[in-house]
Chains A and B, each alone.
Chain A
Amino acid sequence: MEFIHALLEYTFLQKALLTSVMVGIICGVIGCFIILRGMALMGDAISHAVLPGVAISYMLGINFFFGAVLTGVLTAVGIGYVSQNSRIKNDAAIGIIFTAFFAIGIILISLVKSSTDLYHILFGNVLAVRTSDMWITLVIGIIILAAVYFFYKELLVSSFDPTMSAAYGLPNRLIHYFLMTLLTMVTVASLQTVGVILVVAMLITPAATAYLLTNRLSVMIFMSAAFGAISAIFGLFLSLIYNVASGAAIVLVSAFLFTLAFLFSPKQGVLFRTIRARKVKSALRDKSYS
Chain B
Amino acid sequence: MTYAMSVQNLFVSYHGNEALRNINFNIEKGNLVGIIGPNGAGKSTLLKSLLELIPKDQGTVVVFGKSINEMRKKIAYVPQRSDMDWTFPISVIDTVLLGTYPSLGVFRRPKKKHREWSYHCLEKVGMEKFSQRQIGELSGGQQQRVFLARALAQKADLFCLDEPFVGIDITSEETIVRILKELRDEGKSVFVVHHDLSKANTYFDELILLNKELIDVGPVSEVFRPEIMMKAYESQLTFMKQNEVTV
- Interface residues in A139-194 by Cβ distance below 8 A to B read 150-151, 153-154, 156-157, 159-161, 163-164, 166-169
Question: Shortest beta-carbon distance, B174 to chain A, in Å?
Answer: 25
A215–B90 CB distance below 8 A: yes
A164–B51 CB distance below 8 A: no
Residues of A within 8 A of B178 (CB): none
B89–A215 CB distance below 8 A: yes
CB<8 Å pairs between A and B, sample of 20: A36-B85, A153-B106, A156-B98, A157-B98, A157-B101, A160-B85, A160-B88, A160-B95, A160-B98, A161-B84, A161-B98, A163-B77, A164-B98, A166-B53, A167-B51, A167-B53, A167-B72, A167-B77, A168-B154, A169-B69
Residues of A within 8 A of B76 (CB): 167
Residues of A within 8 A of B104 (CB): 153
B73–A161 CB distance below 8 A: no
Residues of A within 8 A of B102 (CB): 168-169
Residues of B within 8 A of A164 (CB): 77, 79, 98, 150
Residues of A within 8 A of B134 (CB): 215
Contacts A163-B79, A166-B53, A167-B53; A211 near B106 (Cβ below 8 A): no
B83 within 8 A of A: yes
**CA A154 – CA B106 in complex, angstroms?**
7
**Contact residues on A (Cβ < 8 Å of other chain), bracket:** 20 to 34
Contacts A153-B104, A169-B69, A211-B89; A163 near B53 (Cβ below 8 A): yes
**Contact residues on B (Cβ < 8 Å of other chain), bracket:** 20 to 34
- Residue-wise, chain B 114-145 has the 8 Å CB interface mask toward A (1 for contact) of 00000000000000000000100000000000
A220 within 8 A of B: yes
B49 within 8 A of A: no
Quick one: closest A residue to B98, CB to CB? A157
A217–B89 CB distance below 8 A: yes
- Residue-wise, chain B 79-120 has the 8 Å CB interface mask toward A (1 for contact) of 100011100111100110010011010110110000000000
Interface of A is mostly: helix
Residues of A within 8 A of B152 (CB): none
A214 within 8 A of B: yes
Quick one: closest B residue to A38, CB to CB? B85
- Interface residues in B40-54 by Cβ distance below 8 A to A read 51, 53
Residues of A within 8 A of B12 (CB): none
- Residue-wise, chain A 113-154 has the 8 Å CB interface mask toward B (1 for contact) of 000000000000000000000000000000000000011011
Quick one: closest B residue to A217, CB to CB? B89
Question: Shortest beta-carbon distance, B40 to chain A, in Å?
Answer: 20
A285 within 8 A of B: no
Quick one: closest B residue to A169, CB to CB? B72
B75–A216 CB distance below 8 A: no
Residues of B within 8 A of A220 (CB): 89
